Amino acid sequence: MSDTGAIDRMPSTLRQAAIEALLEADLDRKVERTNTACRLWFGRRLGVHAPTDPALPDRPGRPAEPMLVSPRTVKRRSVHTPAGRIAMIHALAHIELNAIDLALDIVARFAAEKVPRSFFDGWMTVAQEEAKHFGLLSRRLAELDSHYGALPAHDGLWQAVEATSHDLGARLAVVPLILEARGLDVTPSLLEKLHAVGDRETAAILEIIYNDEKKHVAIGAKWFRFLCARQGHNPAERFQELVRACFRGEVKAPFNDRARAEAGLTPTFYRALSPLSR
C-alpha cells in the first residue's frame, strides 16, 4: 500500500521523485508521480540525488492484478478475434507499465554516475512517454470493455533490472538496445495485421509507440556509445560481451535493420548474437 500523503509532498531530488514513482502501486498515481517528476526535473526544480533519498526498492509497486505467471504459460495472441486483440493490447500495456519503471529505475539506480545532466533528461523523457503509452493502451482496453489487470501477465522484463543492476553499460545494452529494439522488429507486421482486421484505433496507438520507441533506442545507443568512448571500448564488441553475460533470452531475427540503424544501432552490434542471421 502506498504512502497516501507522500504525493502531496514535493520531492527535492530527481532520485527521490523516481523512487517514489517506482514504489507507487496505484497505477493512476504512478503515472501522476512520473509526470510530476518530469515537470519538476525539466523545470530545473530538482537536484539529482542526496544522502536523504529513500532506498531503491527491489521491485516496483504493483496492484494485486494482473496475476504474474511464467512467460511460458502466457498464450499466443491473435489479432483476428476480439478476445485476441484484447489479450494483445493487455500484453502491450503490461510491457509499457514495466517500461515506465525501467526508465525510472535507470535514473534512480545510476543517479550518482558521472554523466551529463542531459543523460537524465533523456531517461525522464522516456519515462514520460512510456506513461503516455500505458495510458493510451489502458483507455483502449476500456473502450473494448476490459481493463489492465483482467488477464495474466509475465514478469520477464523486470528480470533485466536484476541482471544489470551492477553496471550502467549492461543496463543500456540489455534494456533499450535489446528489449526496446525488439519492438522495432515486431511492430510493423503487427500494424499490418491490425489494419487488415480494421482495428484502426489500436493501430494508431501502435504508430505512436513505434515512433517513440525509435527515440528510446536512440537514447540508449547514444549513452552506450558515450560510456564506451569514456572507457576505451569498441561499442559493438562491448555490446556483444555484455549481452552474452547479462541477457538470458534470445536475440531473435528477423531484424528491422532500417529502423535500428536510424536509432544508431547498426547490424555490427547484434547480427553476431543471432544464430539465424549469421
Q: Tell me, what's the pLDDT at 5?
A: 43
Domain membership flag for residue 116: yes
**Residue 276's pLDDT is what?**
60
Q: Which residues pair with 69 in a beta bridge?
A: 154
**What's the domain count of the chain?**
1
Q: Rounded to whole angstroms, how far apart are CA atoms 166 and 174?
A: 13
What own/partner pairs with CB < 8 Å and gap ≥ 24 does 237-241 have? 238/169, 238/173, 239/173, 239/177, 239/269, 239/270, 240/269, 240/272, 240/273
**Which residue segment(s) compose the domain that 171 sits in?**
6-277
Query: How far apart are the C-alpha atoms of 243 and 150, rounded to whole Å?
Result: 33
Q: Is 133 left (phi over 0), alpha (psi -120 to 50) or beta?
A: alpha
Domain assignment present for residue 54? The answer is yes
pLDDT > 80? residue 203: yes
Residues 6+ apart with CB under 8 A from 45: none
Angle at 189 between CA 261 and CA 84, to 5 degrees: 140
Q: Which of 213, 156, 161 is nearest to 186 (CA)?
A: 213
Please report which confidence band the pLDDT of residue 30 belongs to, taking 50, 70 and 90 as the band edges.
very high
Question: Is 152 contained in some domain?
Answer: yes
**What are 217-242's pLDDT values in tens digits?**
999 999 999 999 999 999 999 999 99
Cell of 146: 476490459
Contact in structure between 208 and 133 (CB atoms under 8 Å): yes
- Rounded mean pLDDT of the chain? 93
Could you read off the pLDDT of 130-187 as tens digits, one per residue? 999 999 999 999 999 999 999 999 877 788 888 999 999 999 999 999 999 999 999 9
- Residues with Cβ within 8 Å of 198's Cβ and at least 6 positions away in sequence, in order, are none
224 contacts 235 by C-beta, under 8 angstroms: yes
Asked if pLDDT for residue 4 goes beyond 50, the answer is: no
Q: Report yes or no on 1 lying in a domain.
A: no
Evaluate whether residue 10 is within a structural domain: yes
In a domain, 164, yes or no: yes
